[in-house]
Amino acid sequence: MTVLHWAIISPFLLAILVPFLYKYGRKIHTGWFVLLLPLALFIYFLTFLPRSSAGEVVLRTVPWVPSLGINFDLYIDGLSLLFALLITGIGTLVILYSVYYLSKTKEKLNNFYVYLLLFMGAMLGVVLSDNIIVLYVFWEITSVSSALLISYWYQREKSIYGAQKSMYITVFGGLSMLGGFSLLYTMTGTFSIREIIANIDLVTTSSLFLPAMILILFGAFTKSAQFPFHIWLPDAMEAPTPVSAYLHSATMVKAGIYLVARFTPVFGGSPEWFWIVSLTGIVTLIWGSVSAVRQKDLKSILAFSTVSQLGMIMSLLGVGSVAYYFYDGDNALYTTAILAAVFHLINHATFKGSLFMTAGIIDHETGTRDIRQLGGLMTIMPITATVSFIGLASMAGLPPFNGFLSKELFFTAMVNVTEYGIFSVETWGFILPVLAWVASIFTFLYCTILFVKTFTGRFQPEKLSVKHVHEAPFGMLVSPAILGLLVVIFGLFPNVLAYTFIEPAMQAILPGIMEPGQQFKVHIYHWHGFNLELWMTIGVIVLGAILFITMKKWSQSRFYRKERDIFNYVYDSGYDGLIKGSQLITRVQMTGRLRDYFVYMCAFIVFLIIYTMIRYDAFSINTANVSPIEPFMWFVVIAFVVSIISVPFINNRMTAVVMTGVAGYLVALMFTIFRAPDLALTQLLVETVSVILFMLVFYHLPELRKEKKKPAFKLVNLIISVAFGVMITLVSLSAFAFGSETNFTSISQYFIENSKVLAGGYNIVNVILVDFRGLDTMLEILVLAIAAIGVVSLIKLRFKGSEDV
């Protein structure tokens, strides 16, 4: 194990220790212990920055299941390092914030920090894994741990609802993604992302290209809350604010962004990838921004704004994906979108993290997040108001903050689309800049609403549950203040990030475009002259301001009053339908009658095998090599059939046991005739013990009562029995014919030749059971041991009176 591997495993190890730190360190907030790890990891990952900036990559390998090509391979390049620093850096600030936000006496901090550390480790595993199977394992751990964090306040019904919704949607996407990964392996024969990119021709020329792409995009879209899978994100806001600030603004929802960026070299350049990713992103952008305007809860506004901003980044990745195949040396045309995507990825983490924290501060100090009850907080909470203004101005795209710069690049990238001359953009390409501009108007509007309704106007203490509202303590303000300061710094000095973070990430998203030693041109600045993008920004501000000024008129509309997203009703209806459908199936299937279960199982087996035999034309009967049947065998078979048929008609238990034993002994006789003395001996022993045990048990049971009514004739029983018997007969005859017609060598020859050589035994049956199929035998022994333990427990269990129900 290398240091890099331990860096990923360390959060899981600390999660094991957290309950002990919580129990024995009651005088100290558990967060102080946890804080040291992400801070140390952040510093550790910073040491890779010089190598990443120089274009170097770091690969560390630990074999896991090498026979299947699954290894714990970790890969650091510009893209994965950027995400690792976001995960650990924002994680450090979030944990510091949570120390002051969560009470050490009222909250179960052991649960909170265990879940948070699990999530942190899983996210690091996602962004650093080179093996797609390992990536998938960590991907699903993020889904589970995030659901646990969302349901942290499990006493609340809405918390459970939000956790379940996020789990269902993201796990569905994860399973789809696994299917896509499997198809990639089928095409390339490797699970390594680097090797898949190196064998890209095998992917692009395969008929599985499109199915693999769609399945992987399902995983990315569900995790990054893209339309129409965005509905889980607003409900996830029932989690504590530190969770919202961490999972749903800087890390978890960026996992889908990372996946699309990482697989751009594989699928980018195809028209399907371009249009699906670009249109999904732009629709998510405008849907999220419009939905945010209708919200009245601070975190709900920020939740839909996150949906919107994620759509913006996704659309940029889709538009910029063409650069991988169509780059012609013009940085301004094809690579601006990727530049904007990476830059806004960083900017969004800073301003959205600070905004979630300030929303938590407002909730913590006033007891509400409803903007209809807030107002006038600027004079009471000036620091919170200042940090909020910086974050909101950045998100609205106002200068001189970093969000303005990435928004201008976004406009440039969308305008450039119309000049691509590929994928029919000359016909439909105008949709992207138009929708981008409209969505930006609503973004400006909801940012204005949030700030004005919360911090300006008349203070309304009578509407608040907290009577003495005051500024948050210093410790709670540190983290959002640091993020707000970064918003200003990255806005005034954006090129600090140019060749340290942005350009290396671009190289990772668009590998092989530039010649060795060359770099993408990354020069970000505020003034570009009076160009189209500037006029678009001016239009956003003017129209956004007009909409805000006229808000009293349109705020009475049905559009504004309807806060709940319409797709939630689709989800709820579908969920209810699944529940009712499963209940119906359960009622039909789980009747509590053993006969019904046998009918279902036998009918399914008959259908499956008969269909398979017909589908592959496997029915065949060949009697050329059939041995002649001796006359005495007919008597044995007839006796066997008679003994079996007579059992259902016998009313005496002892007689029924004897007739069952007769059938078993006749089977042993057949084994003897067919020269299988070991099987015959085993059959005799088992049958003898079974008959004796049944007779001992049944002897003590009361006599059977004669039924007044004769048993009803069951036509279904007859049909299933005959069908099953016919199926077994046909399969046996076909298997025999298959071997004789194709000169198929039975596997028994292998056992005959290797029993002594490989296993050191002469009894082939024993060798098969103990050595060649030793795992089967071990599991069978385990089942028997569990059954024995159960029997012993039942024997020792003593019920009293009515307990035995």
Judged against a pLDDT cut of 50, whether residue 406 lies above it is answered with yes
Question: At 558, which amino acid appears?
Answer: R
CA atoms within 13 A on the CB side of 620: 13
**Is 70 exceeded by the pLDDT of residue 745?**
no
Q: Which residue shows structure tokens 């005051």?
A: 470
**What is the tally of helices (H) and strands (E) in the chain?**
37, 2
- Mean of pLDDT values over 420-433: 80
For position 192, what pLDDT does the model report?
94
Strands of 652-752, DSSP E: none
- Asked whether 125 and 134 are in contact (CB, 8 A), the reply is yes
Q: How far apart, in whole angstroms, are the C-alpha atoms of residue 647 and residue 643?
A: 7
Spell out the alpha helix ranges (H) of 54-192.
Answer: 78-101, 109-128, 132-150, 157-188
Contact indicator for 502, 522 with CB cutoff of 8 Å: yes
Whole-number pLDDT of residue 805: 43
Helix spans in 472-531 (H): 474-492, 503-509
Q: Which residues pair with 73 in a beta bridge?
A: 61
**641 contacts: CB under 8 Å, gap ≥ 6:** none
Q: What are phi and psi of 552, to 5 degrees?
A: -60, -30
Nearest to 58 by CA among 251, 185, 194, 181: 194
Question: What per-residue confidence (pLDDT) applies to 419?
Answer: 81
Listed in sequence order, the residues at least 6 apart from 24 whose beta carbon sits closer than 8 Å to its beta carbon are none
The confidence score (pLDDT) of residue 386 equals: 95
Determine contact, residues 18/113, Cβ cutoff 8 Å.
yes
Q: Is the pLDDT of residue 623 over 90?
A: no
Phi and psi dihedrals of 401, rounded to 5? -85, 165
d(CA 591, CA 585): 10
Residue for token digits 């003495």?
468
Q: How many CA atoms lie within 13 A of 248 on its CB side?
A: 38
Across the range 498-522, mean pLDDT stands at 87
Number of residues that make up the chain: 805
Three-state secondary structure call for residue 177: helix
The helix or strand, by DSSP H or E, that contains position 31, with its residue range, turns out to be: helix 30-46
Report whether pLDDT(282) > 70. yes
User: For residue range 205-260, what is the model confidence (pLDDT) as tens digits?
Assistant: 999 999 999 999 999 999 999 999 999 999 988 889 999 889 876 677 889 999 99
Res 427 pLDDT > 80: no
Question: Contact at 8 Å (CB) between 341 and 261?
Answer: yes
CB 279 within 8 A of CB 221: no
DSSP state of 743: T
Whole-number pLDDT of residue 483: 95
CA distances from 658 to 648, 652, 654, 688, 692 (A): 13, 10, 6, 10, 10
Inform me whether the pLDDT recorded for 179 exceeds 50: yes
Question: CB of 297 within 8 A of CB of 370?
Answer: yes
What's the CA gap between 676 and 664, in Å, rounded?
15
Task: Provide the pLDDT for residue 22.
Answer: 87
Q: Give the sign of the dihedral formed by CA 626, CA 628, CA 634, CA 635.
A: negative
- 433 has pLDDT over 60: yes
Share of the chain above pLDDT 90, in %: 51
Pairing label, strands 58-65, 70-76: antiparallel
**Domains of the chain: which residue ranges?**
146-567, 746-798
The rounded distance, in Å, linking the Cα atoms of 30 and 545 is 46
Average pLDDT (627-651) is 84
The predicted-structure confidence for 676-693, as pLDDT tens digits, reads as follows 887 888 889 988 988 888
> What does the DSSP 8-state code read for residue 703?
P
Distance CA 16, CA 113 (A): 10
First vs last C-alpha separation in the chain: 55
**C-alpha span between 528 and 525 (Å, rounded):** 8
Q: What is the pTM of this model?
A: 0.82
Of 22, 128, 121, which is closest to residue 76 (Cα–Cα)?
A: 128
How much is the mean pLDDT over the chain?
88
Reported as type and span, the H/E element at residue 603 is helix 594-615
In 10 A of CB 219, how many CB atoms? 26
Q: Which residue has the higher pLDDT, 433 or 697?
A: 433
pLDDT digits (tens, 9 = 90+) for 326-383: 776 656 677 899 999 999 999 999 999 999 999 999 998 898 899 989 988 999 999 9
Contact present, 303 and 453 (Cβ < 8 Å)? no
Q: Which residues contact 451 (CB under 8 A, 6 or more apart)?
A: 388, 389, 392
pLDDT of residue 260: 96
Is the Cβ–Cβ distance between 252 and 225 less than 8 Å? no
Cα dist from 239 to 154, 233, 247, 561, whole Å: 10, 11, 10, 24
Q: Mapping DSSP to helix (H, G, I), strand (E, B) and coil, where does residue 346 land?
A: helix
Instruction: Check pLDDT > 80 for residue 711.
Output: no
Please check whether residue 47 is in contact with residue 91, taking contact to mean a CB–CB distance below 8 angstroms. no
Tokens of 516: 């060795």
* Contact call for residues 365 and 472 (beta carbons, < 8 A): yes
Main-chain dihedrals φ then ψ at residue 61, nearest 5 degrees: -125, 135
> pLDDT category, 804, cuts 50, 70, 90?
very low
- Integer angstrom CA distances of residue 319 from 83, 273, 312: 21, 9, 11
Stretch 418-427: mean pLDDT: 78
pLDDT tens string 649-668: 887 778 888 888 899 899 89
- SS3 per residue for 386-411: HHHHHHHHHHHCCCCCHHHHHHHHHH
**Nearest Cα to 146, choosing from 114, 179, 119?**
119
Mean pLDDT, residues 102-117: 88
Answer yes or no: are the C-beta atoms of 135 and 255 closer than 8 Å.
Answer: no
d(CA 251, CA 246): 6
Measured CA to CA in angstroms, residue 758 lies from 553, 678, 777 at distances of 87, 22, 18
Query: Which of 22-31, 260-269, 300-309, 708-717 comes out lowest in average pLDDT?
Result: 708-717
Q: Is the pLDDT of residue 699 over 50?
A: yes
Q: Are 219 and 259 in contact (CB under 8 A)?
A: yes
What is the per-residue pLDDT for 637?
87
Tens digit of each residue's pLDDT (9 = 90 or more) over 44-69: 999 999 999 988 999 999 988 888 88
Residue type at 204 in one-letter notation: T
Give me the helices (H) in 674-714, please.
677-699
| Bigger pLDDT: 748 vs 798 | 748
The residue type found at 321 is: S
Contact 364, 476 (CB under 8 A): yes
Cis peptide before 228 (omega within 30 of 0): yes
In 200-321 the beta strands, taken as DSSP E runs, fall at: none
**Largest Cα–Cα distance of the chain, in whole Å?**
108
* Integer Cα distance of 80 and 128 in angstroms: 6
Nearest CA among 383, 386, 411 for reference residue 397:
411
Contact at 8 Å (CB) between 341 and 281? no
Give residue-wise pLDDT tens across range 484-501.
Answer: 999 999 999 999 999 999
On the CB side of 174, CA atoms within 13 Å amount to: 21
710 has pLDDT over 60: no
With tokens 């398979």, the residue in question is 612
> Residue 284 — pLDDT band, cuts 50, 70, 90?
very high
